[in-house]
Amino acid sequence: MTNKVYIIWIWGIGISAIARYYNENWYEVYGSDSTNSELVQTLESEWINIIIWEDETRIDNSFQKIIYTEAVPQLQSELSKAYYLNIDTKTYPQALAEIANDKKLIAVAGTHWKSTTTSLASIVMMNSQHNVNTVVWTLLKEFDGKNSYFSDSNYLVIEACEYKRSFLQYQPEILLITNIEVDHLDYYKDETDYLSAYSDLINNMKSWGTVILNGQDKNCKKLLWQRSDIQFIEVFDSFFVIDKKEYIFPDINLQVPGWHILFDAHLVYCLWSILNIQSNDIVQYLSKYSWVWRRMEQIGMTKNWSQVMSDYWHHPTEIKLTLSALKSKYADKRIITIFQPHQYNRTIELLEDFKDSFVDTDVLIIPNIYESRDSEEDKKNMSTEIFLGEIIHPDKHNWHWLKSTISLLKEKWFDNNNSLIVLLWAWNVDNLRYDLIK
């Protein structure tokens, strides 16, 4: 009998890696999505059977599993049919946990920089004597442009998302925590509630595991020593601490700008002390790390040689550090940032932090706010106009959706070969790349 799995809303950057896992393990993989995309087309080229929209007649008892993203409505027709037929259904975190918890799991958690740190850790492990399996929320050239890599290794590196406490499905042996800054206030009550999720994650860890965390982050420091059977490694800018002994980081020459990216590399370097990977080898692998999809990704040039870059960051802290790094690296260019805020509710919650996040861009453009899980009250209390009114910036624009944005961009700045156009986004602003690059 052929093993079969069906994945609803298969395009998601995490859940599509699950599709690849089952595909590589000789399952027949089927799926559906609401929109066509380049990622969907790539999955189809890998012999995964995908339809655009939904069709409950495709769901029958020949499927062993139905996997879906948590954003799928419970009344979605394919999911409802799976419930009716009593087929085993799992959310993305549950499906990943089923794969992960049988491995030597290295989980990367934190509010910011999870994908970068997961990518760095995966590259180091892949090149080590241990090899690796990995699920990461971006696409890496080292993985042939995919968001996953599978081998016969006992190790698995994953990006562990805190939203709705989903990372509590996992039982890591090694946990890297990049930072903890309150987020997802549509679910968490406050910072204390948010921090409690990370505390619970540490309690989920296997005995005699290791936590590598940001020793400069006030919330990370609150987690130290909460278990006596686990080793804690504190990471600082230039050194790390194990059992009260300080170790200096070697020089790591990254190709990607920004001290925060170097800090992520330092977190990953600490795997040397746990897994017996040669220090010089780790430095070499980290130094080769370059741009990845949606993380300071260099897309190309406009027809008149303005540079275009895409970045998925949409939290104020992430934006501020990214634009600061770009300003430092591209000091001779005018930076034009097109930013799409993520959710009306989240924009309201983070508004104070957004106010001075854009100081290092020369021009700021807001085409629209991405709506997801927002109430009518949220949309009444926040708009592009209200958002821009609160932002401290001398050259800010509301350009009302993508079509007018691309028209006005071409009219005003497209022909300036001294510009860097940065797409900062949460949803479809990234599609402007197809109109911008030559």
95 vs 91: CA distance, rounded Å: 6
C-alpha 302/C-alpha 65 separation (Å) is 45
How far is 123 from 120, CA to CA, in rounded Å?
5
The 8-class DSSP code of residue 362 comes to S
Which residue from 370, 271, 369, 264 is spatially nearest to 325, judged by alpha carbons?
Answer: 264
For residue 122, what is the enclosing H or E element? helix 114-126
Rg of the chain's alpha carbons, rounded to an integer? 22
DSSP labels, 181-244: ----TTT--SHHHHHHHHHHHHHHSPTT-EEEEETT-HHHHTTTTS-TTSEEEEE-SSEEEETT
**Cα separation, 99 vs 289, whole angstroms:** 27
Q: Give me the pLDDT at residue 419, please.
A: 87
Residues of the chain scoring pLDDT < 50: none
Residue 270 DSSP label: T
The pLDDT assigned to 403 comes to 67
Q: What is the C-alpha separation between 91 and 166, in angstroms, rounded?
A: 9
Full set of structural domains in the chain with CATH: 4-91 (3.40.50.720), 101-287 (3.40.1190.10), 297-436 (3.90.190.20)
CA-to-CA distance for 92 and 158, rounded, in angstroms? Answer: 13
**For the segment 130-185, what is each residue's pLDDT rounded down to a tens digit?**
999 999 988 888 899 899 999 999 999 999 999 999 999 999 999 999 999 998 88
Quote the mean pLDDT of the chain: 90
Helix (H), strand (E) at residue 14: none
* 421 sits in which H/E element: strand 419-424
Measured CA to CA in angstroms, residue 422 lies from 219, 248, 364 at distances of 31, 35, 10
- Whole-model pTM: value is 0.81
Residue among 38, 44, 54, 40 nearest 23 (CA):
44
Positive or negative, the Cα torsion across 412, 418, 424, 429?
positive
What are the DSSP calls for 279-306, one per residue? HHHHHHHHHT---BTTBSEEEEE-TT--
Helix axes 92-100, 15-24, angle to 10 degrees: 50
How confident is the model at residue 62, as a pLDDT?
97
Distance CA 264, CA 117 (A): 5
* CB contact set of 154 (below 8 Å; sequence gap of 6+): 103, 104, 130
Burial pattern 24-58, b for ≥16 Cβ within 10 A else e, equals: eeebbbbbbbeeeeebbeebeeeebebeeebeeee
* pLDDT for res 415: 54
Nearest-5° Cα angle at 96, 197 to 84: 105
